[in-house]
Amino acid sequence: MTRDEPLVLGIETSCDETGVGIVRGHTLLADAVASSVEEHARFGGVVPEVASRAHLEAMVPTIQRACDTAGVTLAGVDAIAVTHGPGLAGALLVGVASAKALALSLGKPIYGVNHLAAHVAVDQLEHGPLPEPCLALLVSGGHSSLLKVTDITGYDDGVAPMGATIDDAAGEAFDKVARLLGLPFPGGPHIDRVAREGDQIAIDFPRGLSSRRDLERHRFDFSFSGLKTAVARWVEARERSGEPVPVADVAASFQEAVCDVLVRKALDAAGAEGIEDLMIGGGVAANSRLRALAEERAGKLGIRVRVPRPGLCTDNGAMVAALGATMVERGRAPSRLDLPADSSLPVTEVLAG
């Protein structure tokens, strides 16, 4: 780390985490996160209005905490980065308005960045500069995509989608299946934990979009809604029969079906493009089975796998700061101070004009 590298503060508010991260270049100095997840748990999903209010209350204390941890003052920051989409509109607005207030009062540039690209860029904080090209498997509560990344700042079509989910996102499937197994929200970490006690081949759940016919049209796309329905049917049949539901086996078999398809398609895409580096990002990348299966299968093909540590996979401000710092380093023009929040921002638009 040298003093010449940009000191960037990143703000993330696209869902229920108020994240404020501070980086100098590729070095992580602070990653403060305040989550409103407990306020949503009893509703079984994130309530947008509740999330927005929680961001408003948490924002200033979280900024202060990040500055204290990093040992910097706001005056020393070179640039402000903020998630301006995709995500919950009201939640994004709180982050974008806060970032504008900081940029305006400090007289520093603002970079409105894409949340999905930030999930990829964060790995630089742990494993150094991102190999470009790399194949990114992005799996979160709202998205499941395969991306060919030649420039993470998005320059010259640098983030190009190869495939995406045609229905539920991978994280959404984890959350829905957890709910029907009586596990708390968000379900991903609970399925991950419970599955360790279960048998992943106990139940042969379907692998979405994997038949020969499906592969012709949807080689790099995903589908998880059929799997979710298959799990629901299996559990219902068990309950009707009066036998106990083997929660650990269902969780393990479901998790295996998701991870099997994700890894298989990601490696197929990397092979098709002749890419030797697979990067996995987003909340579901925290899944222990996904990480192990990717390592195991990629190793056999000579493909390197990079996955950030679990705490950097789920939503946080450090990922936004990491992408912002890359924008500064590569001389990208900052965003305008009237940049909007865009709840349905496409993954290809990495930096707001």
Interface positions with Zn ion (CB under 5 A): 140, 315
We find the least distance from the C-beta atom of residue 346 to ligand KG4, in angstroms, to be 15
> Cβ 302 to Zn ion, closest distance in Å?
30
SS3 string of 20-72?
Answer: EEEEECCEEEEEEEEECHHHHHCCCCCCHHHHHHHHHHHHHHHHHHHHHHHCC
185 versus 328: smaller Cβ distance to ligand KG4: 185
Q: How far is CA 257 from CA 84, 200, 206, 260, in A?
A: 33, 9, 7, 5
What residues line the site for ligand KG4 (CB under 6 A)? Answer: 15, 140-142, 171, 174-175, 186-189, 192, 282-284, 286-287, 314-315
- In the complex, the smallest distance separating the C-beta of residue 172 from ligand KG4, rounded to whole angstroms, is 6
Which structure tokens are listed for 172?
Answer: 């959404």
Least CB distance to Zn ion at residue 115 (A)? 6
Residue among 78 and 126 whose Cβ is closer to ligand KG4:
126
* Neighbour tally for 259: CB within 10 Å: 23
The partner residues of 136 in beta bridges, in order of sequence, read: 147, 279
In terms of CB distance, is 140 or 145 closer to Zn ion?
Answer: 140
Write out the two tokens for 156: 């010259």
Q: Which two tokens stand for residue 253?
A: 């078999």
Q: Output the smallest distance, CB 116 to Zn ion, in A.
A: 7
Cis peptide before 133 (omega within 30 of 0): yes
Instruction: Using the structure block, give the residue that is written with the tokens 């539901």.
Output: 245
224 touches which of ligand KG4, Zn ion, none (CB within 5 to 8 A by kind)?
Answer: none
Torsion angles phi and psi, residue 56, rounded to 5: -60, -40
Whose Cβ is closer to ligand KG4: residue 90's or residue 186's? 186
Which residue(s) pair with 305 in the sheet? 278
Residue 188 binding target from Zn ion, ligand KG4, none, CB below 5 to 8 Å by type: ligand KG4
Q: Which does 109 bind (CB under 5 to 8 A by kind): Zn ion, ligand KG4, none?
A: none
Instruction: Give, to the nearest 10 degrees, the angle between helix 247-273 and helix 170-180.
Output: 170
What is the closest distance, in whole angstroms, from the C-beta atom of residue 210 to ligand KG4 in the complex?
20
Q: Measured from the CB atom, is 111 or 174 closer to ligand KG4?
A: 174
- 208 interacts with, out of Zn ion, ligand KG4, none, CB within 5 to 8 A per kind: none
Bridge-based pairing state of the strands 17-24 and 7-12? antiparallel
Decide whether 221 or 315 has the Cβ nearer to ligand KG4: 315
